[in-house]
Structure 1
Amino acid sequence: MPELIVKREAAIGRIVFSNPSKYNAMSRDMWLALPEALDALDADPEIRLIVLEGDGDSAFVSGADISQFGASQADPAVQAAYNAAVEQAYLAPVKCSKPVVARIRGICMGGGLGLAAACDLRFCRDDARFRMPAGRMGLGYSVVGVRRFMTVVGVANTFDMFFSARVFGAQEALRMGFVSQVAPRETFDAMFDEWCAAVVENAPLTLRALKRTVNELIHDPGDRDVAAAETAIAACFASADYREGAAAFMEKRKPRFLGA
């Protein structure tokens, strides 16, 4: 049965896309469940980092589960409701105040590529395969979604992905800037876990302020809420964590941040 599996492992929350028989293709219910799952982890004070990943080794997410696209999908109201659910799922990692990263193994295509693009960072194994097949399906990709790809990989690479609808590999994804790090199967888990461990040791308010600031700065100037970013930055300097960081530096010890 297609589902999202939510796990809490110390300071790391994991959301697993599980539909293994279809390479973790996203059902309508999975799209709808993702914002709620992310909101719950965002509200959990014990969680400092959220990982999105696919169930098993074969895929992150292969796309939307098109077996659900029956005759009703031709109804404009049905299509609009489905598109809204997908877009809310894409927005959920962006709206989350905590770092959200994609752990990619195997296939990452279509809706999976869109979900990965919505994360703050992406890491992949060297067997990962990527594709944006919108041009092969005749669908129109949303303005917000296209802008998201342009922000991550630039204009030329966005044109390339969409115009060609070709499959590309992990090293090309690294060259484009779509992923931050690539590692072979033997070392991928260790690399990813080491990076996550470094993140969860850092001051949560600093990470929150940075994410809010970046997300505001990538908007058009007229749409930016700079005041909200500045408020988040000011909260860092007013926090007990700021005082703890200074004390730890002077005492040459590891800081113990509480997120307050």
Structure 2
Amino acid sequence: MNEQHTILISKLEDIATIYLNRPEKKNAMTLDMWKQIPKILDELEHDSEVKVVIIRGVNEEVFCAGADIKEFSTERMDASSAQNYDNYLTATGEALGNFPKPVIAMIEGPCIGGGAELALACDIRFSSNTGTFGITPSKIGLIYGVPQTKRLIDAVGPSRAKDILFSGRFLDSSEAHQVGLIDFVYPEESIVEETYNYARLLGTRSQATIKAAKVITKLILEGKVDNDFEHNLKFYSTDIHEGIKAFKEKRQPQF
């Protein structure tokens, strides 16, 4: 496990885990942490051994209680500094969205504010039944950004997004799952096993298919729905040869 300030990274088999590591501050995200994540993702993108990335808290008590509000007195007190801060948040979301490999948020305990923002930028969200969710800018007079609001709307729809943003209320894991904020819920004693088993499953699938699915989903969410076959030729994969061969031979493909 390699340490990078308040973020830890470990690799096991073909899964890389990014740990948020400020347990004494409930893993509240500092500006430096927002800056670190795109750099870490760039390294993992070029690591041919890594097929899946999981983001989680360093222990089972909390995923992330939000951005470190104590920094706001210096980092968000005028329009210029607020824009600078938001640029780094946006860069992190874009880095996760453009990352070619699957990214799973594994959530235990509070996932609030910036924590929910980080989780929504991941491809898939797993939560234990201890998960608590909220996006709370209305409680401190913060304006939630356009890219972040779009991700929330994409997940839960416009009316639910307004409810969550207007009220700043907390949702338990059951309600969060019901409205689409998270994708899977498991008991706290099995969340780690279930999340990593799913990550291992993705590692056995065609990585070319997964990469293309991630890109195409993003294009569709951006309103680009034309099926331009010539444009999509770049998504052609020779994995199909192994897939068909394995199907005929009644065995698991070796991608």
Shorter-chain TM-score bucket reads over 0.9
Question: How has the CA–CA distance of structure 1 residues 40 and 231 changed in structure 2, closer, same or farther, with 3 Å as cutoff?
Answer: farther
Which one of the candidate residues 88, 91, 94 is aligned to 1:88? 91
Structure 1 residues 71, 211: CA separation in 2 closer, same or farther (over 3 Å shift)?
Answer: closer
SS of the residue corresponding to residue 50 of structure 2 reads coil
Matches within 5 A, 1:1-260: 3-71=6-74, 73-221=76-224, 230-234=232-236, 236=237, 239=238, 241-257=239-255
**Aligned residue type for 1:245:** G
Cα distance in 2 for residues equivalent to 1:2 and 1:160? 36
How far apart, CA to CA, are the structure 1 residues paired with 2:67 and 2:111?
Answer: 11
Please list the CA deviations of residues 172-230 of structure 1 after superposition, one character each: whole Å capped at 9, or x if unmatched: 011011111111112222221221121110010010010000000100349x8967971
In 2: Cα distance, 1:52 partner to 1:152 partner? 18
In the TM superposition, residue 93 of structure 1 has moved relative to its aligned partner by 1.0
Relative distance call for 1:227 and 1:132 in structure 2 (3 A) is: farther
- Any conservation in 1 of the 2:75–2:85 contact (CA below 8 Å)? no
Instruction: Return the alpha-carbon distance in structure 2 between the equivalents of residues 42 and 226 of structure 1.
Output: 27
Structure 2: distance between partners of 1:76 and 1:114: 21
CA distance in 2, matches of 1:130, 1:228: 42
Local SS of the residue matching 1:185? coil
Report how far residue 78 of structure 1 moved: 2.1
Q: Which amino acid aligns with 1:233?
A: F
Are the counterparts in 1 of residues 18 and 55 from structure 2 also a CA contact under 8 Å?
yes
Q: In the alignment, residue 230 of structure 1 is paired with which amino acid? A: N
Post-superposition CA distance 1:84-135 (Å, at most 9, x none): 1111112211010111110000010000001111111100000110111110
| Structure 1 counterpart of 2:196, one-letter code | D
Instruction: Return the alpha-carbon distance in structure 2 between the equivalents of residues 133 and 2 of structure 1.
Output: 26
Quote how far apart the aligned CAs of 1:72 are.
5.6
Unaligned 5+ runs, structure 2: none
3-state SS, counterpart of residue 157 of structure 2: helix
Q: Percent identity?
A: 29
Amino acid at match of 1:250: K
User: In the alignment, is the contact (CA less than 8 A) between 2:103 and 2:124 conserved in 1?
Assistant: yes
What amino acid is the match of 1:50? V
| RMSD value, Cα | 2.0
2:190 alignment partner, SS class? helix
Q: Distance in 1 between matches of 2:107 and 2:41?
A: 18
**Between structures 1 and 2, the one with greater helix share:** 1
5+ long unaligned stretches in structure 1: none
Amino acid at match of 1:243: H
Comparing 207-216 with 35-44, greater Cα deviation is found at 35-44
